Amino acid sequence: MMHFEEVINQTDHPIATDSYQRQCQESFDQNGVLVLKKFLTPAALDAIVKEGNNKQHLAFYTSSNHNVYLTPSDSNYAEDHTRNQNVTSSKGCITDDQIDTNSPLRSLYDAEALKEFLAFVLGEDELHPYADPLSSINLHYASEGQELGWHFDNSSFAITLLIQSPEAGGEFEYIPSLRDSSQGDMNFAGVQEALDNKTQGAKLTVNAGDLVLFRGRDAMHRVTPTQGDVTRMLVVLAYNAEPNVSLSESARMTFFGRLQ
């Protein structure tokens, strides 16, 4: 099993040092997004890509239509209202229980040093794994034509690792501060402009091996369709601020096709 110190590029990312932690926290607080370039060592990245390719046949594939708020349609609004307009998301996914016990992803996810670093940067007291057996580590596949449509996240933060870039497409685009969910402001007018391509999202440059922290609750974002024969592979490292939390059964059935 690859040890934690062999997984992270600690020359560029000394995650245990106070000064580096503060630098990352300040950047994340200011921008709502943080890209840590070449976070993985080349050996770890190669091992994860190999695992991803070997496990792709196990992936559960979904294609769904949803509004940008990830909520059910609302008959109080017209069918063509921003609130009820649908976009498309499609991907494949393997779940935590399908990740090898000796995978570098396991060493990375379980490391107390990483959890302490992430908690500091995110402003959380602690980070905990999901209590259910599926949701903690997910590896997503986007083959040609697959995409994530515009949406806001329900969670306050997301932690991802890009493992393999496609030949083209698969670009992460976002529009910061497009709504204020804490005040119940859905900003239908601003969202509609984005859906009508009147507002251009900022493009985030992410390469294989980069770790990304992102606040997506009020920043609308999407991933454009993958182009070409190379599958885009992305790992989601999912933590909770509280212990003993499971992803809801409905969400597990939607995303994974099973409960356990």
Say what the pLDDT of residue 79 is.
94
- pLDDT value, residue 1: 80
Alpha carbon of 19 to those of 25, 122, 159, 184, 242: distances in Å?
A: 10, 15, 21, 36, 27
For the chain, the structural domain boundaries read: 4-256
| Series of mean pLDDT values for 10-residue runs along the chain (260 residues) | 92 98 98 98 98 97 93 93 96 97 97 98 96 97 97 94 98 97 96 95 96 97 98 97 91 88
* Superfamily of segment(s) 4-256: q2cbj1_9rhob like domain (2.60.120.620)
The β-bridge partners of 254 are none
Task: Quote the pLDDT of residue 255.
Answer: 87
pLDDT of residue 246: 93
131: CB partners within 8 A, 6+ apart = 243, 244, 245, 246
Q: Which two tokens stand for residue 128?
A: 């905990």
* pLDDT reported for residue 57: 97
